[in-house]
């Protein structure tokens, strides 16, 4: 789902970068209004969990994999404004530290997933999440968040002049629909698991905080350490599309980092390298969001 550098035309990625920056700033100001110091750890823990979940690719068919984006999940648990900020931070760390998604294409990925995709995911929940259709709204939100992000990414590639035969486009859309169904199902399963720990978690996420945050943190560590061992090695939808259209060779690496491709060090064991990178990423995401959240909450108090 992350678009690398080299796939988008300069006018496309530049326009999206310029557009994304003030929107994220606006979301940060909105998130600040309701952010209290007691809620700051939730930002870090949920951000770490989504980061870990995004590392686990699962097969969706035809040699393609997908992964949880988590935009709807973050919107349900943190509220849409804070969710946009948290997912933007995750995408930035992935691009700058793990080379997952382009640096120049960061604005495109932020708009696709952290802004428009997140808002599309939150809409069904805001309309029907408090009534009898709550479960359906949660599933639909997860479904729409991923499918919206995918359609935006495809549109940006088309605007950049990437030639997509009709058959390739249909197959790509079909695979993204399967990924969207899985996104909705996983989102619903996670929300139900959180509700079993704390029934009031979505309405009052601070109550029973230590216990709930502890379980989410344990789950994030488990995904980072054990989940990577079973993650699919198939390329994701964007990479598969790039292979099919012949633009894979256009991918550019602007910055080489020690944690590139989610691998830490040069140990013989691939699992150790990936698990080490996952744990490093969890610490980095949690620390960055904890610090950023405290700064926002402090400004709100001042």
What confidence tens digit (pLDDT) does each residue in 55-106 have? 999 999 999 999 999 999 999 999 999 999 999 999 999 999 999 999 999 9
Tokens standing for 61? Answer: 């068919």
Instruction: Please name every residue paired with 61 in a beta bridge, in sequence order, or none if there are none.
Output: 64
- Residue 35 phi, psi dihedral angles, 5° rounding: -95, 120
Which structural domain range is residue 53 located in? 10-301
Q: Is residue 106 part of a domain?
A: yes
Give yes or no for a contact between 106 and 95, defined as CB atoms under 8 angstroms apart: yes
pLDDT digit string (tens) for 160-200? 999 999 999 999 999 999 999 999 999 999 999 998 888 77
Q: Is residue 4 part of a domain?
A: no
Q: Is residue 3 part of a domain?
A: no
Q: How many CA atoms lie within 13 A of 26 on its CB side?
A: 8
Q: Which pLDDT band holds residue 131 (cuts at 50, 70, 90)?
A: confident
pLDDT digit string (tens) for 238-295? 999 999 999 998 988 888 888 998 998 777 788 899 999 999 999 999 999 999 998 8
Percent of the chain topping pLDDT 90: 76
Residue with the two structure tokens 């390298």: 273
Q: Is residue 261 part of a domain?
A: yes
CATH number, domain containing residue 25? 1.10.1760.20
SS3 per-residue string spanning the chain: CCCCECCCCHHHHHHHHHHHHHHHHHHHHHHHHCCCHHHHHHHHHHHHHHHHHHCCCEEEECCEEECCCCHHHHHHHHCHHHHHHHHHHHHHHHHHHCCCCCCCCHHHHHHHHHHHHHHHHHHHHHHHCCCCCHHHHHHHHHHHHHHHHHHHHHHHHHHCCCCCCHHHHHHHHHHHHHHHHHHHHHHHHHHHHHHHHCCCCCCCCCCCHHHHHHHHHHHHHHHHHCHHHCCCCCCEHHHHHHHHHCCHHHCECCCCCCCHHHCCCCCCCHHHHHHHHHHHHHHHHHHHHHHHHHHHHHHHHC
Q: Is residue 5 part of a domain?
A: no
Give yes or no for a contact between 251 and 2, defined as CB atoms under 8 angstroms apart: no
Q: Is residue 2 part of a domain?
A: no
- CA dist 178 → 50, 100, 111, 198 (Å): 20, 22, 22, 30
Task: Name the maximum alpha-carbon separation found in the chain.
Answer: 57
The number of domains in the chain is: 1
């Amino acid at each position: 789902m992350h678009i690398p550098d080299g796939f988008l035309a300069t006018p496309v990625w530049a326009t999206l970068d310029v557009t994304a920056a003030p929107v994220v700033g606006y979301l940060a100001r909105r998130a600040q209004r309701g952010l209290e110091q007691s809620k700051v750890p939730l930002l870090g823990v949920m951000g770490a969990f989504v980061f870990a979940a995004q590392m686990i690719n699962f097969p969706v068919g035809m040699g393609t994999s997908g992964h949880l984006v988590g935009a709807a999940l973050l919107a349900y648990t943190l509220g849409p404004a804070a969710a946009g900020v948290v997912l933007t931070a995750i995408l930035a760390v992935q691009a700058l530290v793990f080379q997952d998604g382009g640096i120049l294409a960061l604005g495109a990925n932020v708009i696709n997933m952290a802004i428009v995709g997140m808002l599309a995911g939150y809409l069904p929940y805001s309309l029907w999440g408090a009534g009898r259709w709550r479960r359906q709204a949660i599933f639909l939100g997860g479904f729409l968040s991923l499918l919206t992000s995918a359609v935006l990414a495809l549109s940006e590639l088309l605007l950049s002049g990437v030639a997509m035969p009709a058959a390739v486009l249909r197959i790509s859309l079909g695979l993204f629909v399967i990924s969207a169904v899985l996104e909705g199902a996983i989102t619903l399963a996670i929300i139900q698991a959180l509700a079993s720990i704390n029934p009031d978690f979505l309405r009052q996420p601070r109550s029973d905080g230590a216990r709930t945050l502890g379980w989410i943190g344990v789950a994030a560590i488990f995904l980072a350490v054990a989940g990577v061992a079973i993650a699919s090695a198939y390329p994701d939808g964007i990479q598969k599309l790039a292979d099919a259209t012949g633009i894979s060779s256009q991918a550019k690496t602007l910055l080489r980092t020690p944690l590139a491709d989610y691998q830490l060090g040069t140990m013989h064991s691939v699992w150790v390298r990936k698990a080490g990178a996952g744990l490093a990423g969890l610490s980095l995401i949690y620390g960055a969001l904890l610090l950023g959240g405290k700064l926002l909450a402090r400004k709100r108090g001042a």
